[in-house]
Amino acid sequence: MNHQTEERLYLYPVWIRIWHMMNALLCLTLIITGLSIQFANPNTVVKFNTAVSMHNIAGILLTISYVFFFTGNLFTMNGSHYVIPVKGFMIRMKNQFYYYTIGLFKKENAPYPVTEESKFNPLQQTTYVVLMYAMVPFVILSGWGLLYPDITIKSFVGFSGLDLTDLMHIFAGFTISIIMCVHIYFCTIGKNPLSNFKSMLNGFHESH
Ligand code: HEM
């Protein structure tokens, strides 16, 4: 039985919603064009040359959008949601993992309900921190290294610097793509399957 009271919390300020919309569209464009480049053949969704140009432009725009996100988090309270408290980290992860795998299906209450002070649960927070402060910067930096091969290290322990940068870029791109699919699935776990998507449009999170 769920005893939480119904409430609406304003958690997603306009700048986060604009950034997120741009970021999602750019990542989708990068994934489609990236796959078209990786698996180029005459039948790919986007023709090779078009895919390369679109991928480069979307990558440059993603860099600008990332700087916007990074600066926003640095100078607004939104950044506080990305600070992971070290104490009790493993216990909190375990509790949330139990909820997602068992508790949720037994209709138990969420162990870390959404509040204004902490809008992300522990697993969600860790995923967002890894995504936004490791994977996205990694894909952007390796992308710039491929766009301007002259600035890329020539060789590293006998391997071509460009090949290694390419490998890192593909690894980061595929990882982000997988995290994005998981992210969208977890976004369906809300008051109803669409409520979290609505939050990203009107800024309000609805809880039970
Ligand atoms: C079509 C693709 C996407 C959809 C439908 C989507 C959906 C959502 C929704 C509904 C939320 C709000 C609920 C929540 O906080 O869990 C959210 C938040 C978030 N998403 Fe996405 N997302 C998409 C792509 C992405 C991508 C590609 C990234 C990063 C590379 C991303 C990063 C984030 C982050 C960091 C937040 C939290 C923002 C904040 O409040 O500070 N999303 N997303």
| DSSP character string of 22-41 | HHHHHHHHHHHHHHHHHT--
- Check if 36 has its Cβ closer than 6 Å to any atom of ligand 1: no
What does each C-alpha distance from 73 to 15, 50, 119 come to in angstroms?
Answer: 10, 34, 14
| Model pLDDT, residue 3 | 40
| Alpha carbons 18 and 14: distance in angstroms, whole number | 6
- Check if 121 has its Cβ closer than 6 Å to any atom of ligand 1: no
Quickly state the pLDDT bin for 2 (edges 50, 70, 90): very low
Quickly state the pLDDT bin for 45 (edges 50, 70, 90): confident
- Check if 9 has its Cβ closer than 6 Å to any atom of ligand 1: no
| Model pLDDT, residue 6 | 62
Distance 36 CA to ligand 1 centre (A): 24
Q: Are 12 and 205 in contact (CB under 8 A)?
A: yes
- Over the stretch 47-68, which tens digit does the pLDDT of each residue have? 999 999 999 999 999 999 999 9
Q: Are 122 and 112 in contact (CB under 8 A)?
A: yes
Q: Which of 10, 19, 20, 28 to mutate to test the pocket of ligand 1 (most atoms within 8 A of CB)?
A: 20
For the chain, domain boundaries: 7-21+56-207
Query: Which numbered atom of ligand 1 lies nearest the CA of 82?
Result: 41
- Check if 208 has its Cβ closer than 6 Å to any atom of ligand 1: no
- Over the stretch 142-171, which tens digit does the pLDDT of each residue have? 999 999 999 998 989 899 999 999 999 999
| Model pLDDT, residue 44 | 81
Distance 183 CA to ligand 1 centre (A): 7
What's the half-sphere exposure (Cβ side, CA atoms, 13 Å) at 173?
A: 25
Q: Helices 48-75 and 14-38 sit at what angle, rounded to 10 degrees?
A: 150
Report whether pLDDT(28) > 90: yes
Quickly state the pLDDT bin for 42 (edges 50, 70, 90): confident
Strand pairing category for 204-207 and 7-10: antiparallel
- Over the stretch 71-104, which tens digit does the pLDDT of each residue have? 999 999 999 999 999 999 999 999 999 999 999 9
Report whether pLDDT(207) > 90: no
What's the half-sphere exposure (Cβ side, CA atoms, 13 Å) at 165?
A: 19
97-100 own/partner pairs: CB under 8 Å, 24+ apart: 97/123, 100/186, 100/189
Distance 59 CA to ligand 1 centre (A): 18
Predicted structure pTM score: 0.93
